[in-house]
């Protein structure tokens, strides 16, 4: 591995897709800022990533709060002196039927999933130079509906639209912004609560015949964060084993 003079922030990085992304970027030589809600979780994840041979920083952050996002960015600049990559991965998906959904339920998902992308991207862009990259983690729920996840589907659709709009505004700064839309990924949060029967039913919907892994998403992020993707902006890359083709 060749160390790069580049720094990447990954939100929601304590486990699952976020940890997979942070690890994959570390293996490419990026210095990593691990962010999640609890400092202890951040430090545990950062310690594991440090073993890959890169410098890390652990910063607890509620990405739905402007002041905490500001602290995340300022701590990154204080430690590394620069910010090159932002991966907006943090998100929640509490199942609740639409008829039972409260305004609080709706607002919470919108704040964590969509407002966070606005806050983090706005703060990050102020520090990024030409060649900076923002990668948002969306979902196939931005294209197809899922019962009990109306708020989640709406928030992920919003991420795709925000990505396209920001790509136009950031083009003059030569900062790329793209989204990745994962399908069903085997993570502690997503598949941990699945029964074997539910898992079989889900896999039956996927032409590739398996659930995705965090590394499937992470390698897509590695590509979009690299200079190989310099001419790609405002796009949504679907990584779902073919689910949405049916």
Secondary structure (DSSP) of 83-115: --EEEE---------GGG--HHHHHHHHIIIII
pLDDT (0 to 100) of residue 193: 60
Per annotation, catalytic residue among 30, 95, 152, 231: 152
| Alpha carbons 237 and 246: distance in angstroms, whole number | 17
Q: Are strands 85-88 and 7-10 parallel, antiparallel or unpaired?
A: parallel
pLDDT (0 to 100) of residue 194: 72
Average pLDDT along the chain:
96
- Band the pLDDT of 97: cuts 50, 70, 90: very high
Please check whether residue 42 is in contact with residue 58, taking contact to mean a CB–CB distance below 8 angstroms.
yes
Chain Cα centroid distance, residue 31: 17
Collapse the DSSP code of 139 into the 3-class scheme (helix H, G, I; strand E, B; otherwise coil) and give the result: coil
| Alpha carbons 246 and 150: distance in angstroms, whole number | 21
Domains of the chain as residue ranges with CATH: 7-245 (3.40.50.720)
Q: Is 30 a catalytic residue?
A: no
Tell me the HSE value of 142 on the side-chain side, using a 13 A CA sphere. Answer: 25
- Band the pLDDT of 189: cuts 50, 70, 90: low
Chain Cα centroid distance, residue 22: 10
pLDDT (0 to 100) of residue 198: 87
| Alpha carbons 171 and 220: distance in angstroms, whole number | 21
Q: How many CB atoms lie within 10 A of CB 102?
A: 9
Residue with tokens 């199942």: 95
What's the whole-number mean pLDDT along residues 161-185? Answer: 98
Collapse the DSSP code of 191 into the 3-class scheme (helix H, G, I; strand E, B; otherwise coil) and give the result: coil
pTM, full prediction: 0.96
Kindly provide the residue ranges of all beta strands, DSSP E only, lying in the chain, ordered along the sequence.
Answer: 7-10, 31-36, 56-60, 85-88, 133-137, 176-182, 236-239
Phi, psi of 239 (to 5 degrees): -125, 85
Q: What percent of the chain has pLDDT over 70?
A: 98
Q: Any idea how long the chain is? A: 246
Three-point CA angle 129, 131, 132, nearest 5°:
65
What are the pLDDT digits (tens) for 23-51?
999 999 999 999 999 999 999 999 999 99
């Amino acid at each position: 591995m060749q160390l790069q003079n580049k720094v990447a922030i990954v939100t929601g990085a304590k486990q699952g897709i976020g940890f997979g992304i942070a690890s994959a970027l570390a293996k490419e030589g990026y210095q990593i800022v691990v962010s999640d809600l609890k400092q202890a979780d951040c430090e545990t994840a950062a310690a594991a990533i440090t073993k890959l041979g890169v410098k890390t920083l652990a910063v607890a952050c509620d990405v739905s709060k402007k002041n905490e996002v500001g602290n995340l960015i300022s701590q990154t600049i204080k430690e590394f002196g620069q910010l090159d990559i932002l991966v907006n991965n943090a998100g929640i998906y509490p199942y609740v039927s639409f008829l039972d959904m409260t305004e609080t339920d709706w607002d919470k998902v919108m704040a964590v999933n969509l407002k966070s992308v606005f806050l983090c991207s706005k703060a990050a862009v102020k520090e990024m130079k030409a060649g900076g990259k923002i990668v948002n983690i969306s979902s196939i729920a931005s294209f197809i509906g899922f019962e009990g996840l109306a708020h989640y589907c709406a928030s992920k659709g919003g991420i795709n639209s925000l990505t396209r709009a920001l790509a136009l505004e950031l083009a003059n700064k030569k900062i790329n912004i793209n989204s990745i839309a994962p399908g069903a990924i085997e993570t502690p949060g997503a598949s941990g609560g699945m029964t074997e029967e539910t898992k079989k039913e889900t896999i039956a919907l996927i032409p590739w015949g398996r659930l995705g892994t965090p590394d499937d998403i992470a390698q897509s992020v590695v590509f979009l964060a690299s200079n190989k993707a310099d001419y790609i902006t405002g796009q949504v890359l679907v990584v779902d084993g073919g689910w949405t083709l049916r």
